[in-house]
Amino acid sequence: MTLQKAPYPLIGGVHLPDHKHESTQKPIQTLTLAPRLIIPLLQHIGEEAKPIVAMGDHVLKGQKIGEVRAFVSTPVHASTSGTIVNIGLYPVDHPSQLHGLCVVIEPDGLDEWAAHTGLDDYLNAPISTLLAIIREAGIAGMGGAGFPTGSKLSLKEHTPVDIVVLNAMECEPYITADDMLMRERANEVIEGAKIVQYMLQAQHIMIGIEDNKAQAINALQQIIKDDSQIIISVTPTRYPSGAARQTVYMLTGREVPASGRTTDVGVFCLNVATAAAVYRAVVLGEPLLSRITTVTGLGVSQAANFEVLIGTPIKHLLSQAQAKFEQISRLIIGGPMMGYTLPHADIAVIKTTNCVIAATNKDFAPPPPEMPCIRCGDCAVVCPVVLLPQQLLWFAKSKEFDKAKQHNLDDCIECGACAYVCPSNIPLVQYYRYAKGELATQQQEAEKAEIARVRFESRKERLAQEEADKEAKRQARQIAAAKAKEETAKQLELAPQQNSVAPAIDSKTLMIAAATARSNLKKAQKRLLAAQTTQEDTTAIEQEIEQLQAEVTKLQTGLS
């Protein structure tokens, strides 16, 4: 094992007041079981899982209740044993504040597990087996991104990766869930990272961790011991060092392309909680049923980290932390820099809920009024992506979205460092989100217009082709009729000569034959009409009509 200072510095960034000590004074707390668990079927990036249980069903802990229906998706499991009492729409933990489909379980209090087994010799197991276990365990990025880990690992089947970066930065100032996890369960984190390293056949594991987590660093060292493939890279405590691109750069010096992934530069990023979930899935056979969530802010008396069953209402969690509900002015999910506000506490903890800040007005005073930009340039100094935030602000305000795009608005990670230092209190990130939204709408409209154009062109081509086919058939019919007429005329010219060797056909026989041919022609024409009405293939009937017309013409010519 190597313990080193991260070799590359964070570009820009800010030092934020520390609020981690409030929630790290106690070990991880166990939570009492809530009367009801509300488990959303979409807790990840990608497609919502499909419910596979019905109301009234009794389920066991770990039993699958939602099945994947797309490559980018994860299954969902019952967090405890009990009865399904509803499947319906509930408010969910998401910035959009929309409702999502949830399975509601009334626990039976027995916490009875479904059958499950882990793998002993997991570092020699087939990679496909490990991948299937991780996918079935419903693991999604627990640092907040929520990308299904099984899908992310599957994407890597064709891209070589030499480094697994274990992201232990946790740079938002209030969140301590990963810190406490590493202090108490460093073995799970390291073993999970080793499983991923083995699956990707990567040479190294690099752990990126800020220097404000001395206890966690110590715990990791105790587990890693002399493993030469693992490097702990300690970075200064500076926000936003935990953003994936920034972490990868600080540890490896590799720059992830703006529209690319870390794997494009040979690095697979893994959050520490996700690594521990991989360990529990593979070694213990446990799907992802719970997570560690920080509960903090002046709105609770007992700030701490809790092991929370997925689906536990946040109100229940706050009660366990002895919330002073009447003093809470805002409920923030995640950190104050990149988190979002929930409308109320009747929303369940999901796989990505790493922190709940029960904030009072003392935590976060209402924002002061926005003032005009004074072009001080402070925002540009702290931008970790080396953008020109004041320029982007100008373009967003003047609705010059294309120019904002040209100035790399898409590269903005919405970290809020620029807004944090702005002396004019300009909510810069809100302007950037607005501009990005407008650009996305323009893009969608351009795509829709392109689809409509392609449809119109292809319809025009199809109609032209149909017309050309009809014309070709018409001409073919005319040629065939002319040939038939010519043939009949030739035969009739020959008829008197033939009379010398064979008796001529009498006129009565010819009349009967002509009447029969006409009748057959009429019948075929009726069938053609019927086939055209029902849009069936008319090719055979049309050929038959051509022959009959030729026959009628021939016989009538013989009679005249």
Binding site for ligand SF4 (CB under 6 A): 373-379, 382-385, 387, 389-390, 393, 412-418, 422-424, 426, 428-429
* Phi, psi torsion values for 284, nearest 5 degrees: -105, -10
- Which residue lies nearer to ligand SF4 by CB, 315 or 433? 433
By beta-carbon proximity to ligand SF4, the closer residue of 196 and 417 is: 417
Residues forming a β-bridge with 306 = 29, 293
Q: Which amino acid belongs to residue 208?
A: G
First vs last C-alpha separation in the chain: 110
- Is the Cβ of residue 9 or residue 266 nearer to ligand SF4 in the bound state? 9
Beta strands in 344-500 (DSSP E): 355-359
The least distance separating ligand SF4 from the CB of residue 256, rounded to whole angstroms, comes to 14
Residue among 414, 448, 440 nearest 428 (CA)? 414
Considering the complex, what minimum distance in angstroms separates the CB of residue 253 from ligand SF4?
Answer: 20
- For ligand SF4, the closer CB: 259 or 500: 259
4: exposed, middle or buried (Cβ count in 10 Å: 0-12, 13-18, 19+): exposed
Contact 315, 346 (CB under 8 A): yes
Least spacing, CB of residue 395 vs ligand SF4, in Å: 12
Q: How far is the CB of 297 from ligand SF4 (least distance, A)?
A: 23
Nearer of residues 201 and 425 to ligand SF4, judged by Cβ: 425
Q: Least distance to ligand SF4 from the beta carbon of 386, Å?
A: 8
For residues 378 and 542, which CB has a smaller minimum distance to ligand SF4 in the complex? Answer: 378
Alpha helices in 344-427 (DSSP H): 378-382, 389-397, 401-406, 417-421
Find the shortest distance in angstroms from Cβ 430 to ligand SF4.
Answer: 10
Q: What are phi and psi of 230, to 5 degrees?
A: -115, 130
> Which residues, 6+ apart, have CB-to-CB distance to 104 below 8 Å?
36, 37, 38, 39, 84, 85, 86, 87, 88, 90
49, two tokens:
């899982």
How many other C-beta atoms can be found within 10 angstroms of the C-beta atom of residue 437? 11
Query: Is residue 119 a contact partner of residue 125, using CB atoms and an 8 Å limit?
Result: yes
Minimum Å distance from CB 51 to ligand SF4? Answer: 38
C-alpha span between 84 and 115 (Å, rounded): 19
> Please, what is the minimum distance in Å from the beta carbon of residue 337 to ligand SF4?
9
Q: Which is nearer to ligand SF4, 237 or 424 (CB)?
A: 424
Cα torsion at 418, 44, 231, 221 (round to 10°)? 110
d(CA 143, CA 208): 14
Q: Give the nearer residue to ligand SF4 in terms of CB position, either 90 or 432.
A: 432
